[in-house]
Amino acid sequence: MTAELPDILIQEVAPRDGLQIEPQWIETVEKVRLIDALSAVGFRRIEISSFVSPKAVPALRDAADVFASIRRRRGTIYTALIPNRKGAELALAARADELNFVMSASETHNRANMNMTHDHSLASLAEIIKLACTAGALVNATIATAFGCPFEGIQPFGKVLDIVKQYLDLGTHSITLADTTGMANPSQVSRLVAKVFTVLPPDKLTLHFHNTRGLGLVNVLAAYNSGARRFDAALGGLGGCPFAPGATGNVCTEDLANLCHETGLKTGLDLDRLIDLSRRLPTLVGHNVPGQVAKAGRPLDLHPVPERLRQHPA
């Protein structure tokens, strides 16, 4: 793998965001095998699991065992999603390098997703940051439904920007804007990213898009053209939010990496190995996955000339 900095930083979230809604239980050893393979591909950040109530997300009830079993690659940050102080304590005990805290821009979605008001969530974040600082861990704070809520509709830019400022005031290291339900469009993305960059440097912002309405990669391009350089993606396009009606998978990692490759953007990732991993996913999860490049192959994966043309050339 190249040691130079990539033009675009793709952060892998399939082990957490991808597997959290899978109805078929994925054995811990299989999760660890997937994460170790993703580490070998060259990711600088991988979201491993979440420390939430097993009753709420039973598919990730083995988070501590997964963290204890992975082979950590030097230079890779291993992240845990956490909802509150208890989750933070468990994640830090598991030696998570980064805690990813989530609060929704929408108060309604925040109550559905986290069972908290905004004030309660922000108070929890303040406690979490103190714990993380003591442990030497990073804290990323995510704004879910930043581009729209299935209950409240589009969230005003000013409201999202206020949350960004509150996160920064509390001492978060970086921030993610999440299109939790795939409601974003490129124009909206460009304008919101530009506004956030008035208070946050580009290297501290991640965009998290879902492909619910087929605009995932287009929204990535819109954000990139507005200066964003960090993006979440999930192998095979896995994922979806269990508390967002109609939400489907994340932007597909190998599809995004292929787009970057075709347009000359360096990712630092081994695309061929990514595609190979994605082609194994249906066996792991028990169903087909949305990713397209793994099905069609790379553009220059050429096919044999038909026999009839070889026998009767023009």
List residues with catalytic annotation.
Answer: 241
Q: Six-digit token pair at 287?
A: 């169903």
Alpha carbon distance 24, 279 (integer Å): 18
Alpha carbon distance 127, 42 (integer Å): 33
Alpha carbon distance 18, 20 (integer Å): 6
CA distance to 62, 186, 208, per residue, from 290 (Å): 26, 21, 17
Report which of 46, 50, 106, 90 is spatially closest to residue 71, judged by C-alpha positions.
46
Helix (H) or strand (E) holding 37: helix 28-41
Render the burial of 77-116: b for 16+ CB within 10 Å, e for the rest: bbbbbbbbbebbbbbbebebbbbbbbbbbbbebbbbbbeb
Residue 229: CB partners within 8 Å, gap ≥ 6? 7, 8, 9, 202, 203
Alpha-carbon dihedral angle through residues 225, 212, 12, 217, given to the nearest 10 degrees:
-30
Report which of 259, 246, 244, 243 is spatially closest to residue 291, judged by C-alpha positions.
259
